[in-house]
Amino acid sequence: MTGVSLSARLEGRVIFLTGAASGIGAAIARRCVAEGAAVICADLNGAAVEALADELGAQGLGVTCDVTEAASVEAAVAAGLARFGRLDGLVHNAAAPSPDGSVLDLTAAQWASEIGVNLTGAFLTCKSAFPAMIAAGGGSAVMIASQFAQVATAKSVAYCAAKAGLVHLAKAMAVDHAADGIRVNSLSPGAVATSRLLQRWPDLAAADEGLGPDYLLGRIGQPDEIAAAAAFLLSPDASFVTGTDLLADGGYAVR
Ligand SMILES: NC(=O)c1ccc[n+]([C@@H]2O[C@H](COP(=O)([O-])OP(=O)(O)OC[C@H]3O[C@@H](n4cnc5c(N)ncnc54)[C@H](O)[C@@H]3O)[C@@H](O)[C@H]2O)c1
């Protein structure tokens, strides 16, 4: 976001964002507010999301929320509506640390947990938020997936399957809700410098050095680069874009 002159293309819009407390989610929250939106920042990590909302000021609301629990998501959406009075967009970005493993390695509980946060979380978020978006005359929904929705990687069966499911869920919802004025897309990042990478790498410099050569651009991405793509999909600039997957992966999946 630094050095870029931002427009006010999200002025007056209210966006519900899951997994807002850190990494890509926090970058999306900051970008949306910088472009004029109000953001309901929902996350399991209540303290971190409150701190982010404090930073965002009047255009931010922090809500503790577990996207795997229907009542929790409904309460978070209701809190957002009570504060801002409308809803024009949502981003489902929440993800828990993913279990490494093949189908033989993972337990059924690990599988269910990964599907729960990524995929069921998206279902519950859209189910709770869409009625208010329809009441507002429509809006834009963005599912944060992964390049591993398009191409597979080793020992990540649950993550690959959950993210591929998210991409197709976006398409199916785009079909159902076009007539409501809701555009639904997925956004698939390649590796991005967040604490998520520290599951497998000692630090972000090591992650960049190790993973960078797999990317056409020779490096991993930054959270702000994904936030810029999310802001585009949320904005009127993407008014003719629905039911698609936007790869923001530095060219990882092209070969
Ligand atoms: N960082 C990457 O390399 C990368 C690459 C491709 C896709 N992604 C995707 O981008 C998204 C954000 O990833 P990140 O790297 O910023 O990770 P992150 O761990 O920094 O952020 C994820 C957030 O989700 C929250 N969360 C976890 N479980 C939750 C739940 N049940 N309910 C509500 N919130 C919950 C966490 O508290 C955290 O704040 C994820 O969907 C991830 O799969 C990340």
Q: Is residue 6 part of a domain?
A: no
- Look at residue 3 and tell me if it is in a domain: no
Q: How far is the CA of 179 from the centre of ligand 1 (A)?
A: 31
Is the residue at 198 inside a domain?
Answer: yes
Residue 26's domain comprises 14-249
Instruction: Say which amino acid occupies 191.
Output: A
- What's residue 3's pLDDT? 55
Residue 254 lies in a domain: no
**227 within domain boundaries:** yes
Q: Is residue 91 part of a domain?
A: yes
Number of domains in the chain: 1
According to the model, what pLDDT value does residue 6 have?
Answer: 81
Confidence at residue 57, expressed as pLDDT on a 0 to 100 scale: 98
Q: Is the CB of 184 under 6 A from ligand 1?
A: no
Q: In the annotation, is 215 catalytic?
A: no
The active-site residue, picked from 148, 159, 215, 252, is: 159
pLDDT in tens, 140-155: 999 999 999 999 999 9
Report the largest interatomic distance among the alpha carbons of the chain, rounded to a whole angstrom.
50
Closest CA to 75 of 64, 86, 88: 64
Residue 168 lies in a domain: yes
Rounded to an integer, what distance in angstroms lies between the CA atom of residue 167 and that of residue 96? 18
Return the pLDDT at 135: 98
The residue contributing the CA closest to ligand 1 atom 28 is 96
At residue 192, the 3 state secondary structure works out as strand
Q: Assess contact for 93 and 20: CB atoms under 8 A.
A: yes
Residue 103 scores a pLDDT above 90 = yes
Q: Domain containing 238 — which CATH number?
A: 3.40.50.720
pLDDT of residue 1: 52
Tell whether 2 is covered by a domain.
no
Tell which atom from ligand 1 comes closest to the C-alpha of 72: 32
The pLDDT tens digits for 153-206 are 999 999 999 999 999 999 999 999 999 999 999 999 999 999 999 999 999 999
Q: What is the tens place of the pLDDT at every residue in 15-40?
A: 999 999 999 999 999 999 999 999 99
Residues of the chain with pLDDT > 90, as a percent, come to 97
- Residue 5's pLDDT is 73
